[in-house]
Structure 1
Amino acid sequence: MQRIFLIVIATILFGILLLIIIVPLLIDLKPADGEITAPAAAEVDSQFVRIPFPGTAGINFHIHSTSAPSGDANAFVLLHGFTFNVFTWDALFPFFAAQGQVIAYDQIPYGLSDKLLPGDWTDANPYSKAAAIKQLFALMDQSGIEQAILVGNSAGGTLALEAALTHPERIKALILIDPWIYAQRPTLPQFLVETPQLRRISLFLARHLGGEKLPLLERSYADPERITPERRTLAAIHSRLANWDVAWAALLNHSLMDKVTVSAHLGEIKQPVLIIAGSEDRLVPVEDSARAARAFSNAEFAVLPDCGHVPHEECPDLTKAVIAHWLRALPQRAVHHN
C-alpha cells in the first residue's frame, strides 16, 4: 500500500512538473500589432526627446515639460509608478508648473516612450535599475536641470530614492506618494530568468497588466468609480503601439533579477522628504509609508482620507494642499551640498 501511495504521489508531482514546463510554451509569442505611431498618439502638449544610451541607437522618451521660469525657482521631475505613464500627473502638472520648471516622462517601455525589444541593445540592459537612474539624470541634463525635487509615486518613489542615493548633490528634496519601499518581489537567478518558460510567463503577465482591464489602475483607486473614461484611455495608450507587450515582458523579466534594497539605506537620505499616503491604499500599506517616514532624518508624513494608491489622481486637491504647505517651509529644511 505504501509503495502504491508513493507511486501515486510521484506521478502527480511528475504531472505538475510537466505542466510547469509545457504550459508556458503554449503562450503565443507574436507581438501586439500597433495601429498608430507614438507621435500620432501624443497629446498637444507632448514632446519627444532622444537621449544617448550605451549599446543602443539612442532612446526616445515621451515627455511633458515646461521651460525654466525666471528667478530662483524650483525644478520638479515627476516619476510615475509601475505600469502607469506620464498622464498620471495631469491633475497636478499645472500646480507644479506654477512653482517652477517641470519635466514628467514615460519611463521605458511605458506610455509612448520607446518599446525596446531584446536585440535592440548590445550593452547594459536598458530596463535595469541602474539604467533607469542613468536615464533620469540624462533627461535632467537635456532639460538643463542641475538640481531637482523628485516627485515619485509607487515604484517611481523607489526610483527617486535610488537617484538620491546615487547623486545626492543633484536632488534638492523628495516628495514620495505611496512609495514602494518595503514591499518585496521575487528575485531569481539569471539562468532561470532566461528560460523560455519564464520569458513566456513574463509575456503573459505583461499582457494581463497592460491589457484592456488595467487591473492595477482599478486597484489603485479607493473607489474605482472615480476613474473617468478619459483616464482609462490615457492609461492604456501604450496598447496603440506595436510590440508594447513584448517590451513590457522584457522589463518584467529583467526585474526578476533586480533586488529592491533601498529600504536598507533610508538613513543615508539627508534631503527633506515628504511622504504622502492614501488611507485606503490597497497596494502599499499605510503602515509601510509611516515606517519609512520614521527612517528618514528629515521627513514629514501625511495621510489623505478616502484616497487610494494614486491620490494625485484620485484626490488632487488634497494632495496639492499638502505639497503646497510643505513647499512653503522647504527653504528652512533644505540641505546644502558643497
Structure 2
Amino acid sequence: MKILLIGAAVLAVILLGPFLIPVPDLKGTVDPSLLAEEDSLFVRLENVNVHYKVSGEGFPPVVLLHGFGASTFSWREVFSPLADRFTVMAFDRPGFGLTSRPLGEEIKGFNPYTQENQVELTVKLMDHLGFEKAVLIGNSAGGLTALEIAIAHPERVIGLVMVDAAVYTNDGDNLFFKLLTSTPQGRHLGPLVSRLFLNDARSLLDLAWHDPSKITPEILEGYEKPLKANDWDRALWELTLARRKFDVSKLGNIDIPTLVLSGDDDRIVPVEDSVRLAREIPNAVLHIFPDTGHVPQEENPQEFLEVVLPFIESLSLIERSEDRNPD
C-alpha cells in the first residue's frame, strides 16, 4: 500500500506539477506597431497586421524572408544595395519582428503560424505590392518558406536564393520536443520555453556568427527590439506547435533556378546540409563563404552581394527574354 501511495504521489507531481508553475503575461510590452521605424509599412492580411519595408524600382522584384528569431533587421546590410538595382521587399514573418501576433480564438479560422499559411500570407503580400513574380531570398527557416512557395506556387517564383536554409532540421524528432508539444503540461509551459530560448539573444547571435566580435551593441539592440512586442513569447510557442517536417522528396520537382549559399562555419545549419540541398534541387548552384557563419548577409555582406547580384541579374535577362518571346 505504501508503494502504491508513493507511486500515486509521484504520478500526481508529474501530471499536475507543471500546471502549478505560473505563466504570467510579460510586463512592459507594447503593440508592435508602436515600435515602427521611419520606413516601416503595415498591411492587414487575413488576421495579421504585417510589417514590411519596400524600396527600389528595378526588375525583378525580390522578396527577403528572414530566419527564426530574426526580422527585417537581418537584411539591413544588403537591403539598400539590392534596392539600387531591383524592387526589394522584406517583411516580418508571423511570430517575429513587428508583425502582429494573433492568438487564441483569433487563429481558429486562419492560423498564420502554420507553414502553409505563411506561404499564403507571403503570396498575398506579393499581390498587395503588385509582384506577379519575384526572386525569393530565404535565410535559415525563411529558406524553407521560400521552398514551400516555390513548390505551391511555382508560377510566382523567378528564382530562389537559399541562404543557410533550414530544410533538413526537424526538432520534432526530439523526445523533449515531443513531450512539450504533445502534452497539456508541455503546452502550458511553452511560453516559458520561448522566453528561455530568445531572452538570451547574445548567446544565439554568438552561435550564428563565425566571428562574434563583430556583433555590436547596435546589432544586439536590433535583435532584441521585437522582444518588446506584445505576446511575442506566446506567438513563438504557437509557431513551434505548428511546425511540421518538410517532405524532402519534393525537392526533385523544383524547376526553378536556385542558388544555394552557406557559411563554412555555420553551427546552426551544417554546411553539409547546404551541400545536400544543392545536390537534391535540380541544376542548383552552390557557393560557400569562407570564415562565415549562419548569416552571411550580415557577417559577410560584400561577398554576399558579389554572388547574389549577378545571379539575380541573370534571372532578369532570362525573364525579359521570355517575355519578348513567349512562344
> What one-letter code is carried by the residue in structure 2 that aligns with 1:317?
Q
The answer for unaligned runs of 5 or more in structure 2 is: none
Normalised by the size of structure 2, how large is the TM-score?
0.88
Matched, 1:234 2:222: yes
CA contact (8 A) 1:27 1:204 kept: no
Give the alignment's TM-score, normalised by structure 1: 0.86
| Aligned residue number for residue 223 of structure 1 | 211
**Are residue 24 (structure 1) and residue 18 (structure 2) matched?**
yes
Give the counterpart letter for 1:79 in structure 2: L
Residues of 2 paired with 1:250 and 1:273: CA distance? 31
Residue 170 of structure 1 aligns with an amino acid whose one-letter code is: R
Other-structure match for 1:126: 112
Q: Secondary structure at the match of 1:110?
A: coil
1:163 matched to 2:157: no
The one-character-per-residue Cα deviations of 1:273-330 (angstroms, maximum 9, x if unpaired) are 0011000000111111011101122211000011000111111111111112323433
**CA–CA distance in structure 1, aligned partners of residues 203 and 114 of structure 2:** 24
Greater CA drift, 263-272 or 152-161 = 263-272
Q: Secondary structure at the match of 1:90?
A: helix
Of residues 35, 39, 59, the one that matches 1:41 is: 35
- Match among 247, 255, 265 for residue 270 of structure 1: 255
**Alignment partner, residue 4 of structure 1:** none
Q: Distance in 1 between matches of 2:64 and 2:38?
A: 19
State how many pairs are aligned.
319
Aligned partner of 1:3 in structure 2 is: none
**In 1, Cα distance between the equivalents of 2:246 and 2:24?**
31
The amino acid of 2:226's aligned partner reads H
Q: CA RMSD for the aligned pairs?
A: 2.9
Query: Which amino acid in structure 1 is aligned with residue 230 of structure 2?
Result: A
8 Å CA contact retained: 2:53, 2:89: yes
Question: In structure 1, what is the Cα distance between the partners aligned to 2:66 and 2:264?
Answer: 19
Q: 1:139 to 1:22 in 2, by over 3 A?
A: same
Secondary structure class of the residue paired with 1:307: coil
Paired residue secondary structure (2:277): helix
Aligned residue in 1 for 2:191: 203
Q: Percent identity?
A: 34
Are 1:158 and 1:180, in contact at CA under 8 Å, matched by a contact in 2?
Answer: yes
Q: Hey, what does 2:92 align to over in structure 1?
A: 106
Correspondence 1:64-103 to 2 at 5 A: 64-66=53-55, 68-69=57-58, 73-103=59-89
Give the CA deviation at 1:209.
Answer: 2.2
Post-superposition shift, 1:14? 8.5
Mapped contact 2:43–2:50 kept (Cα < 8 A): yes
Q: CA deviation at 1:112?
A: 0.7
Distance 1:233 1:27, change over 3 A: farther
1:192/1:43 CA distance change after superposition, 3 Å: closer
Deviation at 1:266, TM superposition (A): 1.0
Aligned partner of 1:253 among 216, 232, 241: 241
Which residue is 1:283 aligned to? 268
Q: Unaligned stretches of 5+ in structure 1?
A: 1-6
Distance 1:224 1:200, change over 3 A: farther
Instruction: Pick the structure with more helix per residue.
Output: 2
Q: CA deviation at 1:138?
A: 0.5
Q: Call closer, same or farther: CA 1:309–1:110 in 2, change over 3 Å.
A: same
Q: How far did residue 223 of structure 1 move?
A: 1.8
Q: CA deviation at 1:265?
A: 1.1
Deviation at 1:35, TM superposition (A): 4.2
The structure 2 residue matched to 1:146, chosen from 111, 127, 132, is 132
Q: Where does residue 327 of structure 1 map in the other structure?
A: 312
Task: Show the counterpart of 1:180.
Answer: 166
